[in-house]
Structure 1
Amino acid sequence: MIGLTLGVAVLITVLSVMNGFDRELKNRVLGMIPQATVSSTQILTNWPELAKQIEGHEHVQGVAPFTQLQGMLTAQGQVAGIMVSGIEPEYEKKVSIIQNHMVEGSIDSLKKGEFGIVLGKQMTDAMGVGLNDNITLVLPEATPSPAGVVPRFKRFKVVGIFSIGAEVDSMMGYIALNDASTLLRLPDGAQGVRMKLDDIFLAPQVSQEIVRDLPGNFYASDWTYTHGNLFSAIQMEKAMVSLLLFLIVLVAAFNIVSSLVMVVTDKKSDIAILRTLGASPATITKIFMVQGTVIGVIGTCAGAILGIIAATSISGFIGWLNNTLGLNMFDAYFINYLPSYLRWQDVLVIVGLSLALSFVATIYPALRAAKIQPAEALRYE
């Protein structure tokens, strides 16, 4: 029974953690990066008209312009690489969750010509800067000068800090769309538009449909190119871990078989006495099936309770452990904490399968007990 209890508890807990990773990837990471984009080989000076046209698609919930550039940030003697997106705050709120995760300042502070920048908390902590501090963005482009060829750089003011709790906190920054064009010495406009969809799994299909219907030279991209492998890996790990843990539950169910077989062997004389008193083979079968089922029900219910408690508290416990010991167990992952999302349908499936296995495990010992012959069993008593 202990094996069944632990098997069910661990299965519920691990599945909840895998569900948590799956949900956080969808909600946090895919809430920040573009779910789908439509870009052009030329700067889109008419992007508002393009955005209005794309918003007419049935699966598109929001559209926002963007211009992306890569560079390096320097401040307080620290240097870090960064991916910077030029955005229009009014439109960005329709496609991104950034506004909901601002801890200081606001993306509305990004205004044309003021050269403000919004950074993640991990980045500002690493660079030793805070709100209203200055930071320098260095672009990988050379500018001729009397002193020779020097990199292009621009000083920005930190006008906002966000914290998603994911890898984007240390690698992404936001500036005004027109400031991005100025840095790249391009006309005012956008490199492309990003979309928020009602179903992220339709991103490849929707983006291709939109490009096909647009006049001009456009090309599409979507989140499956950047984070598709990560999502597939999580799904595969979830399936494999579930299979392995289910095998643990299966082994625990077979332990019920061995336990009941030992009981049948030990109670042979008692079974024989019951038979001589008039108990039918069917009655003996029912007795042992009920006994085994009760063991399965108690073990499964205890495991379910333990699993639910563990699944709902493991995030807080691991967070406390990290803070107490000064560890960062999830530094190599796309989020910096352990998520857990308990799905009741998973609990019901696990409990149902465990009870079914427990019931099936009682059949062989019960039938074996029913076949005991009273005369044979009592011969040496």
Structure 2
Amino acid sequence: MFKPLPIAIGLRYTRAKRRNHFISFISVVSMIGLVLGVTALITVLSVMNGFERELRDRILGMVSHATIQAFDGSLRNWQELSRQVETEDPRVLAVAPYVSGEAMLSAFGNISGALVRGIDPAAEQRVGRIGEHMIRGSLEDLEAGAFRAVLGYELAVQLGIRVGDSVVLMAPQASVTPAGVLPRMRRFEVAGLFEVGMYEFDRGTAFIHLDDARAVFQTGEGVTGLRLHLSDMMQAGVISRDVARALDGMFRVSDWTQQHANLFRAIQMEKVVMFIILSLIVAVAAFNIVSTLVMLVTDKQADIAILRTLGLKPSAVMLVFIVQGVIIGAVGVMLGVVGGVSLALNIDVVVPFIERVTGTQFLAADVYYIDELPSDLRLQDVLRISGLAFVLTLLATLFPAWRAARTRPAEALRYE
């Protein structure tokens, strides 16, 4: 009794049973379409956010936020440079030297190529996350002169070796002997295994001590470069440019966004495209409300005419049907948000259950970067999706409501 009359009538029409059951059926279908569309959009965007986060975290576990290298390939004054970068810019939290080179690994008659990285275990722990992904052994087992190696799990499987076995490393640098020019070969003991969860790294990366890498790749006192750990990895581009301008001399400073720019641009483009495609599903469901309200206006012609003769203004009649459409849309959007949030938060339970039931694996580790379906639910995505769905619902009510407002009482009551 305290509601404005148009809103009260609209709510009454929404609760009332339809004389035409087909209208009720179309209303339910429209609501279900909205629920499914909003649920799918929230879930898909959450999964794509999860993929982006997992890729970024796993890639940054192997690569650095930023890297400093010399143009000639060997960084000789790296100790002084490291101190300068770490002390002059407070945004640089840690610096670690590394030596990188390609080599062939051989064991038990098996052979495989790999990217071999020489590291200082103590410094590496400050700039990377490889220590968090060790499944056997530890990075501290890499000692200078001990010639030990830590291999990716898939690489170890390919070579048929485990912790404690020996692997022969063949570097491209040659040694001159009385028998001629021969490739440099050195036997390493496997001290540990790591598994990042990205097949690219688990299959083709090995770590050895920095001093052992210098000896194998003949870099002398120089290193390949310095790995930087920054306070804000999302500002890596800005910070790396500031670091480059502050350095004395010519150096190549790059950051992770440059090294993997195409990958993350592709993810962003896919997110935009998927948002547009799934928004069309929401739009179709929202505009089903148009057909519901058009049929409802036709069904209620006599009621509208009576209300008009009693003095209800056309704008008030329009509001009556806008209220009905908005209620249908609001309920559908709310249920869709609840379903989407619930599914996004439990995707790690739902997907394994479906895989067990169907006997299939959605993400094979040897095909995809990530072998599990991640989810990262973000409030801004939920608000954006629910807002878009509600606005589309509101727009869908305008035409039927406008038609109802144009009803002429005399024509509507002629045959009543």
One fold, TM greater than 0.5? yes
Amino acid at match of 1:197: L
Amino acid at match of 1:10: A
SS in 2 for 1:247: helix
Separation of aligned partners in 2, 1:246 and 1:22: 21
1:366 counterpart = 2:401: yes
Amino acid at match of 1:24: E
SS in 2 for 1:325: coil
**Structure 2 counterpart of 1:126:** 158
Separation of aligned partners in 2, 1:198 and 1:342: 24
**Structure 1 counterpart of 2:111:** 79
Q: How does 1:313-324 map to 2 (within 5 A)?
A: 313-319=346-352, 324=359
SS in 2 for 1:55: helix
Separation of aligned partners in 1, 2:101 and 2:220: 15
**Structure 2 counterpart of 1:345:** 380
Per the TM alignment, residue 296 of structure 1 is displaced from its structure 2 partner at its CA by 0.3
SS in 2 for 1:342: coil
**Structure 2 counterpart of 1:186:** 219
Match of 1:62 among 94, 97, 100: 94
1:238 counterpart = 2:271: yes
Q: How does 1:224-373 map to 2 (within 5 A)?
A: 224-276=257-309, 279-319=312-352, 324-325=359-360, 328-329=363-364, 331-373=366-408
SS in 2 for 1:361: helix
Per the TM alignment, residue 249 of structure 1 is displaced from its structure 2 partner at its CA by 1.5
**Residues 360, 328 of structure 1: CA spacing in aligned structure 2 closer, same or farther, 3 A cutoff?**
closer
Q: How does 1:16-55 map to 2 (within 5 A)?
A: 16-40=46-70, 41=72, 43-44=74-75, 46-55=77-86
**Structure 1 length normalisation: TM-score?**
0.91
**Residues 349, 327 of structure 1: CA spacing in aligned structure 2 closer, same or farther, 3 A cutoff?**
closer
Match of 2:230 among 197, 215, 229: 197
Separation of aligned partners in 2, 1:183 and 1:225: 29
1:174 counterpart = 2:204: no
1:220 counterpart = 2:253: yes
Report if the CA contact (8 A) 2:173-2:218 is conserved: no
Separation of aligned partners in 1, 2:98 and 2:178: 34
Separation of aligned partners in 2, 1:237 and 1:313: 23
How many residue pairs were aligned?
381
Report if the CA contact (8 A) 2:98-2:119 is conserved: yes
Separation of aligned partners in 1, 2:122 and 2:158: 29
Match of 1:152 among 181, 184, 191: 184
1:105 counterpart = 2:148: no
Per the TM alignment, residue 21 of structure 1 is displaced from its structure 2 partner at its CA by 1.7
Per the TM alignment, residue 356 of structure 1 is displaced from its structure 2 partner at its CA by 2.1
**Structure 2 length normalisation: TM-score?**
0.84
Per the TM alignment, residue 147 of structure 1 is displaced from its structure 2 partner at its CA by 4.9
Summarize deviations over 1:233-280 as a string: whole Å, max 9, x none.
111111121122222222222111222112112222232244445544
Separation of aligned partners in 1, 2:197 and 2:159: 17
**Residues 55, 306 of structure 1: CA spacing in aligned structure 2 closer, same or farther, 3 A cutoff?**
same
Per the TM alignment, residue 36 of structure 1 is displaced from its structure 2 partner at its CA by 1.4
Summarize deviations over 1:127-147 as a string: whole Å, max 9, x none.
322222222222223334455
Amino acid at match of 1:137: L
RMSD: 2.3
Amino acid at match of 1:32: M
Separation of aligned partners in 2, 1:139 and 1:246: 54
- Using the TM superposition, name which of 353-362 and 3-12 deviates more: 353-362
SS in 1 for 2:224: strand
Per the TM alignment, residue 43 of structure 1 is displaced from its structure 2 partner at its CA by 4.4
Amino acid at match of 1:36: A
